Structure 1
Amino acid sequence: MIEWIKKRREVKKILQQLDSCAGEFTFPMLDNGYVYLIDSRMTLFSSKNYWGITIEVIGFSTRGGGHDGINNAVHIYGNFPGCRPGLQNENFFYFTDDINGQKAFDEEYQFYLNPHAKSVLIDGIEYELVHQKEQYLKAEISIDGDYIGIQDYLRLIWPQIVEKPFLSTEKLLQITHRDLNEKIRLEEWWHPDLVEDELPSKTETFIKIAHAFVNDDFNRLSKLSESTNTNWRNWPEGGTL
């Protein structure tokens, strides 16, 4: 009975940390009004005494614009030494660039593709820029106005990128704690809608994750991919402010 109470308290602590970050807007909001969601990934780590979660959110921020707006925002949670739960400024990682001095994006607003540019670097690899609107329509990506939005291009090209620009396990350990061990990586899951006041502690995904840490049993988490909402199409309000 005492062991059961102890585990229950540990589960509560984990969920309280996530809820606290949600209240402080440092937990991923997939329909953030200033960020067009492109992709996301969650990695769970643990050791004998510590637990850790990283949630990487790749998106295009209208506040940054251009290459400065395309980033991987790595949110970190845990109880390991030095952990600062939430999203820190140093944990934004950028991965696109121009090629041969030709601007990939419009210079005035930094929201659209440069119609005269041919390609862009994504994580060091050259990709052709797609200017034909019919290609987007085929992919069921709507285009507003006369120009191709940066987020529209990224969403179109994303399935062609074999090695997505998420951080390696080694890099994640560098920004968390070396004593941690990777337990499971989730490409999809059911995420709380913070705008609708949903909290991690009321979401099956994070309840199960908290129990997995406390019981050191991550086998059942593979089933979290059976019911998911992390695809960008499920968050149409993102980036629209």
Structure 2
Amino acid sequence: MGAHEICPDGGMLLPYRDGHLPPPISISRHDLSLFNKEITFATLPALRTQPLTDTVFGMFSLSKKRPNRPFTSRDILSALDKSAADFQFPMLDNGYIYLAASRLSLYGSTDCWAIVIETFGFSPRVGEPDLTITTISNRLHNRNSVSDYVSLDAYQSYLSNKPNTDMRKFWPISNTSWIDQDEPEHVVSNGILDLRERKMGTPERADIEAAGIELESDRTAIFEVCRFLAEKHRTDVLGTEIERRVSVDPQMREILMLDDWHHPDLAASQMPSQTRTFNSFARILEDGNLDRFKVSEVPNNHWKNWPDGGTL
């Protein structure tokens, strides 16, 4: 059996002949041919390998026998829906945030799971662009400590109100001198911004329009620059591996990373469990079988699909 072939009897994925597992899959927005098709290791190139040990996921079995886990797909969906009901799940058309870029990753091990959603954008209330890493998991890592709160009651309230969700902020653009202090939703002329410690000039208006971003006025807005950066420097505005894993238990391995997926319309009261996409994610996390993943819903997480974002 070749390195990327699927068990002929439809069972779990087999390891490589040389004792390695197939790598975590990363699917790009350019893989449009994958829509409505089953995604397997047979259809995607290998990116890297990981040694086969007792702790590598514990997810890829050598038989069709279902792994025994302390959670089910229903448990995962329940945690996702609670996060959404408690206004902790990312809302891509949040009226206070102009979305510019997003990405989703799945992590898992024999006894824990995590879904990480990255959102980069601009909130006028915050005053500068930021990256939010939202992690939903049955075992959150690096949680706030009691010393972060004014009282023990406040700390216990944090734990009870967010049993499965944590959010962390990062700032890929480290300076604010390119922001007009008199009109703080716009940029100064010939501004210089520091993106991941790399200096670059604010983009020309013609370049922003050439990137498919419609300018709203005769002054360049901060959110328009964010969307230009997301188009031209996507990797830099989204999280590093350390940032993505900020709340992920270290024993978990990355299973899947997506630039494009179908996100629930929370403003219309749609829960994650009501989408086929998140049901698919939950089943993958339950048993580690990537054959379960099908792009059966049209991806919608691009900011152009959420025009109400930032309009309040």
TM-score range, shorter chain: 0.7 to 0.9
1:100-137 Cα distance to aligned partner (Å, 9 max, x none): xx82010023211112x3321112112221243x3333
Structure 2 CA distance, aligned partners of 1:136 and 1:165?
16
Structure 2 unpaired stretches of 5+: 1-64, 144-162
Pick aligned residue for 2:193 from 116, 120, 125 = 120
Which residue pairs with 1:129 in the alignment?
202
Taking a change above 3 Å as real, the CA distance of residues 162 and 198 of structure 1, as seen in their structure-2 partners, is closer
Could you list the structure 1 runs, at least 4 aligned residues long, displaced by more than 4 angstroms after superposition.
81-84
Q: How far 1:155 moved relative to its partner?
A: 1.3
Superposed displacement of residue 138, structure 1: 3.2
Separation in structure 1 between the aligned mates of residue 103 and residue 275 of structure 2, nearest angstrom: 17
Aligned to 2:254: 182
The one-character-per-residue Cα deviations of 1:57-97 (angstroms, maximum 9, x if unpaired) are: 111111111xxx31111111111255742343xx1111113
Could you tell me which runs of 5 or more consecutive residues in structure 1 were left unpaired when the two chains were aligned. none
Deviations 1:3-52 (A, max 9, x none): 99x98x82211111111111111001000000001111111111111111
**Counterpart for residue 207 of structure 1:** 279
Pick aligned residue for 2:165 from 86, 90, 101: 86
Task: Check if 1:104 corresponds to 2:178.
Answer: yes
Give the conservation status (yes or no) of the 8 Å contact 1:27–1:87. Answer: no
Identical counterparts, % of pairs: 28
Instruction: Write the letter of the residue equivalent to 2:139.
Output: F
Evaluate the alpha carbon distance shift between residue 184 and residue 105 of structure 1 in structure 2; reply closer, same or farther with a 3 A threshold: same
- The 3-state SS of whatever aligns with 1:96 is coil
Question: In terms of mean alpha carbon deviation, does 11-20 or 223-232 score higher?
Answer: 223-232
Contact 1:188 1:225 in 2 (8 A): no
Following superposition, the deviation at residue 209 of structure 1 comes to 0.5
Change (3 A) 1:75 1:157: closer
Distance 2:296 2:179 in 1: 35
TM-score (norm 1): 0.84
Whether the 8 Å contact between 2:97 and 2:310 is mirrored in structure 1 is: yes
2:307 corresponding residue in structure 1: 236
- Separation of aligned partners in 1, 2:177 and 2:93: 28
Work out the CA distance in 2 between the residues paired with 1:92 and 1:70: 10
SS at match of 2:228: helix
Residue 33 of structure 1, aligned match among 95, 98, 102: 95
* Structure 1 position 53 matched with structure 2 position 115: yes
- CA shift, 1:161, in A, is 1.2
The structure where helix makes up a greater share of residues is: 1
SS in 2 for 1:73: strand
**Cα distance in structure 1, aligned partners of 2:215 and 2:237:** 25
Is residue 197 of structure 1 aligned with residue 276 of structure 2?
A: no
Query: Tell me, what secondary structure is at the counterpart of 1:53?
Result: strand
- Tell me how many residue pairs correspond in the alignment: 226
CA distance in 2, matches of 1:85, 1:32: 21
Between the aligned partners of 1:76 and 1:148, the Cα distance in structure 2 is: 33
| Cα deviation, residue 158, structure 1 | 2.5
Supply the distance in 1 between the matched residues of 2:194 and 2:110 (Cα, whole angstroms). 41
Letter in 2 for 1:227: V
Q: Give RMSD over aligned pairs.
A: 2.4
- Whether the 8 Å contact between 2:140 and 2:164 is mirrored in structure 1 is no
Q: What is the aligned partner in structure 2 of residue 42 from structure 1? A: 104
Is the 2:134–2:165 contact (alpha carbons within 8 Å) kept by the matching residues of 1?
A: yes
Distance 1:118 1:212 in 2: 45
